[in-house]
Amino acid sequence: MDAADLTLLLTAATAAGWVDAVVGGGGLLMLPAMLIGAPQIPIATVLGTNKLTAIAGTSSAVITYARRTPIDWKVAGPASATAIIFAGLGAWYASSVTTAIFRPAILAALLAVAAFVTFRPAMGTIALPHKRTPPRVAAATGLAGTAIAFYDGFIGPGTGTFLVLTMTATIGTDYLAGSAIAKIVNAGTNLGALTVFAYHGHVWWKLGAALAIANIIGAQLGARLALRKGAAFVRAVLLTVVCGLVAKLGFDMLAG
């Protein structure tokens, strides 16, 4: 790998850590960057190396959030535990993913997120505690720890964002509290998927370690800024990042 490609990946890892800590979805930056900067790596190894990168930044962000904001452990705890298992199952099948379906899958995920956030402008800007009923808590915990976790292990892009949206839409957290829960669950999904990818030899450890350091730096900057600026800032970052990535991936697909 030449210096230009490595610089691209290190920059993307820092930016992905920042985005992941603020609102989730750092993989939507990191994975396209790896497809561009390291096209010789098989898709399964791209996913595995990204998990090594992501688990470092996500775990770092969890520590920062836990110190400075209350976390709903009744949701985060069970969801993260089951997420380890279901993300591992998803990773087990990830070798079947090809580039031909990978980019359209990312683009579809981005468009879904953009539409949901755009047409629900008030969602997540303030907490709605009346939504936090036992059935909704069970639904949020189950969805985060099973379906979304499996998706993260199998494909991955946008998992953090989907987790944040699940918390805000289902149990009425604001974006900041939802992001704190999402980080913990996402740490579980990353651990489960990384374990399976590593078992199958689908991790490029030297590159992943370098990218992990950059991801931690970005995650610390992002978590601290999100805690200081609040939910409205998180929503603005979410929309900006998603729209930019939709444009980039759409152009790449048309050009290709």
What phi-psi label fits residue 120: left (phi over 0), alpha (psi between -120 and 50 degrees) or beta? beta
pLDDT tens digits along 173-227: 888 888 889 989 999 999 999 999 999 999 999 999 999 999 999 999 988 887 8
How would you write the pLDDT of the chain (256 residues) with one tens digit per residue? Answer: 778 888 989 998 998 888 888 777 787 778 878 877 877 788 889 889 999 999 999 999 888 888 888 888 999 999 999 999 999 999 998 767 666 666 777 778 778 777 777 776 665 567 788 888 999 999 999 999 999 999 999 877 778 878 988 998 899 988 888 888 998 999 999 999 999 999 999 999 999 999 999 999 999 998 888 788 876 776 777 777 677 767 767 777 777 6
Indicate the average pLDDT of the chain: 85
Task: Kindly state the DSSP code that residue 172 receives in the 8-state scheme.
Answer: -
Domain borders along the chain are: 3-255
Residue 254: predicted pLDDT = 79
Give the helix, strand, coil percentages of the chain, each rounded to 5. Answer: 85, 0, 15
